[in-house]
Amino acid sequence: MNTYIQQADNVLAQTYARFPVVFTKGSECTLWDSNGNAYKDFVAGIAVCNLGHAHPVIAQAISQQAANLVHVSNLFYTVPQIKLAQFLTENSFADRAFFCNSGAEANEAAIKLARKYFYEKGDTDRTVIVSAKQSFHGRTYATMSATGQDKIKKGFYPLLPGFKRVPFNDIDALKDTLDKTVCAVLLEPVQGEGGVCCPSDDYLQKVRQLCNQNGSLLIFDEIQTGMGRTGKLFAYEHFNVTPDIMTLAKALANGLPMGAMLTTETIAKAFGPGAHASTFGGTPLVSAAALCVLEYMKEHQIVNHCETVGNYFRKKLMELKEKYAFIMDVRGYGLLIGMALSIKGAPIVNKCLEKGFVINCIQDTILRFIPPLIVQTDEIDALIDCLDLVFQDI
Ligand SMILES: *Cc1c(COP(=O)(O)O)cnc(C)c1O
């Protein structure tokens, strides 16, 4: 066995069931391991490295900023953070941005803001957050309490009070749950970790209507679906539904840790000085990286490319579905694609890895394809050939 892995097994917390690979280098959609083997990456660090690995333009932005100013705290203004907030608000429904360091932190900020908004209005009974079953919102106590998957909560009770869950795509269940105690409905527009579950027909529009009728806020967790992943800059654009609060993280800075919570002017007012904070949130270093990512994506029309190659990719996966009876479903938007199987996915993931392709399996039976958004059709073709070979032997 690789000596690095032997060392790791003695010293790292055992929170991850890792594949026995040590990656040492990357470029675009290719990764190399410590033995010099090359892999095509269809995971992108879990929908994070949208512009691929070691992108020279991003690397330059990071190193320039690192040589200039890394961190001063939010006691002061810095130019990259201001410019990033301008970009995000000019390109979304939102008016204001709060920066933090991860997805869970962005959702924590959203949950705190929703409660504070009603507190400031004197509506102090509105504290309940309604989220969806099968959802994933993070691993902190509040975000774990919102998350709709029991396996994530096991051993960690008691969780926080004030959280309720309803089945995704069940508008009647939501209707029955909404009352004057509900301050916000928190949903992923497309559930990522839950199995790439897409909203049916006009579900999200009806959710928006119900929230309006009940006086509750609508929070979209776009931590996985945001930043162009679904073929629009933000997934809510697919559904003609605007949230009141949106959370971002994963791909925001192409791999540097960054989260953001975006909201409207009216709601943002509830977060006055001292209400919420993060020491590292939105440092000049990560903000400069995120700004560079966004400007590059705009200039090179990466979101359009994602939509085009995403359609191609799904078409190719549908062709495999015609061929193999154990493929139940191919679904998703852009380059957030799930392939539901009637068999376990882990052996397929392992065989693809042996053949130099990094793919991912969630919920035991769903293969998830989330490559860098810059992936090319010849790379997709190579993966399809690999899957075809692996499927023949399964
Ligand atoms: C990954 C993810 C999170 C959690 O983000 P972390 O950065 O791991 O805290 C929350 N919500 C969704 C939808 C995610 O995909």
Q: How far apart are CA 8 and CA 36, in angstroms?
A: 19
Decide whether any atom of ligand 1 lies within 6 Å of the 254 Cβ.
no
Q: Is 137 in the pocket of ligand 1 (CB under 6 A)?
A: yes
Catalytic residue among 93, 98, 99, 136: 136
Question: 240 near 78, Cβ under 8 Å?
Answer: no
Q: Whose CA is nearest to atom 8 of ligand 1?
A: 103
- What is the 101 CA–ligand 1 centroid distance (Å)? 11
Entry pTM:
0.98
Q: 148 CB under 6 A from ligand 1?
A: no
Whether pLDDT at 374 is above 80: yes
Mean pLDDT of the region 341-363: 98
Tell me what pLDDT residue 2 has: 86
How confident is the model over 254-277, as pLDDT tens digits?
999 999 999 999 999 999 999 999
3-state secondary structure of 339: strand
From CA 32, how far away is CA 385, in angstroms rounded? 21
Catalytic residue selected from 40, 116, 133, 250: 250
Instruction: Identify the active-site residue in 221, 232, 316, 357.
Output: 221
Q: What is the pLDDT of residues 92-109, one digit of tens each?
A: 999 999 999 999 999 999
Averaged over 306-323, what is the pLDDT? 98
Which of the 8 DSSP states describes residue 264?
Answer: -
- pLDDT digit string (tens) for 315-325? 999 999 999 99
CATH topology of domain 3-54+301-392: Aspartate Aminotransferase, domain 1 (3.90.1150)
Mean pLDDT of the chain: 98
User: Of all atoms in ligand 1, which is nearest to the CA of residue 104?
Assistant: 9
pLDDT over 70 (residue 153):
yes
Q: Which ranges in 300-354 belong to alpha helices (H)? A: 302-323, 346-354
* Confidence (pLDDT) at 46: 98
Nearest ligand 1 atom, CA 138: 4
Q: Is 224 in the pocket of ligand 1 (CB under 6 A)?
A: yes
Ligand 1 touching residue 249 (CB < 6 A): yes
Question: In whole angstroms, what is the distance from residue 251 CA to residue 99 CA?
Answer: 14
Structure confidence at residue 1 (pLDDT): 63
Q: Which residues pair with 97 in a beta bridge?
A: 262
Verify whether ligand 1 is closer than 6 Å to residue 198 (CB atom): no
* Pocket probe mutation, ligand 1, options 105, 136, 141, max atoms within 8 Å of Cβ: 136
- Quote the ligand 1 centre to 110 CA distance (angstroms): 13
191-223 pLDDT, tens digit per residue, is: 999 999 999 989 999 999 999 999 999 999 999
CA-nearest residue, atom 6 of ligand 1: 103
Q: Is 99 a catalytic residue?
A: no
Instruction: Report domain extents, the chain.
Output: 3-54+301-392, 58-299
Cα–Cα distance for residue pair 375/310, rounded to 1 Å: 9
What average pLDDT does the segment 284-296 reach?
Answer: 98
Give helix 284-299 / helix 56-66 axis angle, nearest 10°.
Answer: 150
274: Cβ contacts below 8 Å, ≥ 6 apart: none
Is-catalytic flag, 221?
yes
Quick one: pLDDT at residue 106? 99
CA-proximal residue: ligand 1, atom 15 (nearest):
224
Residue 228 Cβ inside 6 Å of ligand 1? The answer reads no
Planar angle of CA 64, 29, 38, nearest 5 degrees? 110
The class level of CATH for 58-299 reads alpha beta
Best residue among 137, 147, 188 to mutate for probing ligand 1's pocket (most ligand atoms within 8 Å of CB) is: 137
pLDDT tens digits, one per residue of 44-96: 999 999 999 999 999 999 999 999 999 999 999 999 999 999 999 999 999 99
